Amino acid sequence: MRIQAAKFGIAFGIVYAVMFFLWGMLGALFGWGVAMAEMIGGFYVGFGPSFAGAVIGAIWGFVVGFVFFALGAWIYNSLVGGSGTS
């Protein structure tokens, strides 16, 4: 069974975007995970425990989630081969 790489990437890009947004907002509103969010902000420029940082983190999350999971699906499809029909 083959995976549609673009759809797989979009799905996990959305999951990562929501995760990064919630992480940034929880840090901004309640102070939860602020140190970790600031450390992650060192890798993902602009991400941090604020509304703007959460939005930037969501964009980063979508891009990273899409790229890595679409690439993973493409590699999987390359290894499985076949026509994609079951």
Cα-based angle 15, 21, 58 (whole degrees, multiple of 5)? 70
Domain boundaries, the chain: 11-77
The per-residue pLDDT for range 38-84, each reduced to its tens digit, is 999 999 999 999 999 999 999 999 999 999 999 999 999 999 986 55
Q: What is the pLDDT of residue 86?
A: 47
The per-residue pLDDT for range 5-50, each reduced to its tens digit, is 999 999 999 999 999 999 999 999 999 999 999 999 999 999 999 9
Check the CA dihedral 37-9-55-19 and report its sign: negative
Residue 12: which H helix or E strand, with range? helix 5-30
- Put residue 4 in one of left, alpha, beta given phi > 0 → left and psi -120 to 50 → alpha: beta
